[in-house]
Structure 1
Amino acid sequence: MDCLFCRIVRGEIPSTKVYEDDDLYAFRDIDPKAPTHILLVPKVHHSSVNALDESSAAVVAKAYVVLKQLAEAEGIAQSGYRIVVNTGKDGGQSVDHLHFHLLGGRSLSWPPG
């Protein structure tokens, strides 16, 4: 697959990796919107939340546990952080591969965008 995030996971495009296991890969966003801005992607390609089904539930649940661990490792767990999953064009999704944004390290305003 020629998906940008699939190519990053395969090592064809360089990234600053912060976590990897058999199911998930996390790396620093190249255009960070907060002092901590990490992208976490499943290694198996899912185009968006809309492509998920019951068989995807375990990796999505695992992603949230890993995001919590990353927030702890980044020192933002106590002060607070945001997890964002954009879905579709109007939702702000720019890469058609399910991904989670972990944002923190500053006060995040609401509503976003």
Structure 2
Amino acid sequence: MAASPTLFDRIIAREIPSDIVYEDDGYIAIRDIAPKAPIHLLVIPRKFSARLDGITDATEMGQLWLTAVKVAGQHAADYRLLVNSGEKGGQVIFHTHIHILAGWENGPDSDV
């Protein structure tokens, strides 16, 4: 875990309520509270890394992406997976997570 618990650490620990749509031993998926698409979910590893490039184990990296694809497929046939890495890459919460964006009638309204 980070030196100070992140918002996602606190959600995982059930200190902060969230709309959980999926969870297993390694991951949790929640609805984003400020959605950028009709369906906007976040897949969060329980094991902390501040950024995507902090995951150096290929198995962990693959499992993260496989989980995101699994969760996305449970909510939409077509979807976008997005990761922001680092402040200048648009990352706001420094706990690795994958955005699932979907649900547009005619495709995405704008780039995210």
After TM superposition, the score normalised by the length of structure 1 is 0.86
1:15 Cα deviation (Å)?
0.5
Q: Letter of the aligned partner of 1:72 in structure 2?
A: G
Which residue of the partner structure matches residue 32 of structure 1?
Answer: 35
- 1:13-24 equivalences under 5 Å are 13-24=16-27
In structure 2, the gaps of 5 or more residues are none
* 1:51 aligned to which of 34, 49, 54: 54
Q: Once the two structures are aligned, what percentage of the paired residues are identical?
A: 37
Which residue of the partner structure matches residue 66 of structure 2?
Answer: 65
After TM superposition, the score normalised by the length of structure 2 is 0.87
In structure 1, the gaps of 5 or more residues are none
CA spacing shift, 1:92–1:44, aligned 2, 3 Å: same
Q: Deviations over 1:33-91 (max 9, x none)?
A: 1111000010011000231212xx223212222222222221x22xx211001001111
Structure 1 residue 11 corresponds to structure 2 residue 9: no
